[in-house]
Structure 1
Amino acid sequence: MGTVCSLYSKVDITDNKQIKYFLSPDEYKLVKSSWKMFNKKKDKEIGLWIFNRFFQMHPEFKKLFTEQMMVEDNDLKVNEEKLRHHGNIVMEGLGAAVESLDDSVFLSNVLVTMGESHARHNVKPEMVILLWPAIRDAFNGCLGSDFTSQMATAWEHVFEYMATKFKEGLRKESKHAR
């Protein structure tokens, strides 16, 4: 299985390719079925877990989460309630993405809009891809041996698509802000 970065570098982010160019029919089925399995097993803490894992890997990004952090002893500490809420929104977004795989025009528009709103929080395009390992680890932790390498690759392709459209929104908003 390649890394997102290696796979992502093969994608021309300026084109208008939709999800079918990122995901094979078999991968589509794997994503749909794994999301059902994930929803049966997941709890309300998974979004919080993802962001805590993300901050373990990239503590420098805590400063971007001003609404989910608090300063304590001159250090940024996670406000778990607010980060849990944000994590739940992200998980709902993933679920909506899975539900919208058949309508990638709609999904693209939502993702571009999300990117635009995140640009206002100083999220940069190169940061987006860094969330994938935390999401992958959450799937792996939740599904265990049911999270096969084929399933991981399928989800990686979904995330590539989502990241491409999200980045499109970040760039679009950055141009408007100038």
Structure 2
Amino acid sequence: MGILFSILFRPCQRCRRHHYQLSTYLTPGQIQLIQCTWSILKLDLVTLGLTVFLHFFETEPDLKMLFPKMIRMNESNQLEWDVDRDMLQKHAVTVMEGLGAAVETLHDSHLLNSVLIALGQTHEKRNIKPYMLK
């Protein structure tokens, strides 16, 4: 998200205060297309979120180490790479809801900025470091 934020939101050159304009990067038609697509995808956030995370974990197994609450321990106290699906489902839906909030505020750069800042603050509280998100 940090990379997305830095690419999409740059200070407006026409004014001295920090005023960010998403319209510099997306046309109204593109925003509408993204929002219409999201309106279909959001009908099943559970399946969408689980699909995204399970794909991440299949293609990048080391990502599982970033989610210690979802990794199960076996009787020998060794890590198992099986994922706690209930916890993953809750997290996946939370992530998809955050993505949805961003998509639904694409028409308002200031509101989107607030959504992304709140998302960053949530990650900061959980001690998520920028390198973990790349």
Normalised by the size of structure 1, how large is the TM-score? 0.56
Find the residue that maps to 1:45 and give its secondary structure.
Answer: helix
Q: What percent of counterpart residues are identical?
A: 32
Greater relative contact order, per chain length (Cα 8 Å cut-off, separation 6+): 1
| Alignment partners' CA distance in 1, 2:82 and 2:113 | 34
| Alignment partners' CA distance in 1, 2:97 and 2:8 | 27
| Partner in structure 1 of residue 114 of structure 2 | 109
Q: Give runs of ≥4 in structure 1 deviating > 6 Å.
A: none
Say whether the 8 Å CA contact 1:64–1:122 is kept in structure 2: no
1:43 to partner: Cα distance: 5.5
| Partner in structure 2 of residue 38 of structure 1 | 41
Greater Cα offset, 54-63 or 119-128: 119-128
Q: Structure 2 counterpart of 1:51, which letter?
A: F
Higher-Rg member (1/2): 2
Larger helix proportion of the pair: 1
How many residues end up aligned between the 2 structures? Answer: 121
Q: Which of 59, 74, 77 is equivalent to 2:82?
A: 77
Q: Which of 94, 100, 123 is equivalent to 2:99?
A: 94
* Consecutive unaligned residues in structure 1, runs of 5 or more: 1-6, 130-178
Normalised by the size of structure 2, how large is the TM-score? 0.70
* Consecutive unaligned residues in structure 2, runs of 5 or more: 12-17
Find the residue that maps to 1:11 and give its secondary structure.
Answer: helix
| Alignment partners' CA distance in 2, 1:43 and 1:114 | 18
| Alignment partners' CA distance in 2, 1:83 and 1:118 | 16
How large is the RMSD of aligned CA atoms in angstroms? 2.8
| Match runs of 1:108-127 below 5 Å | 108-127=113-132
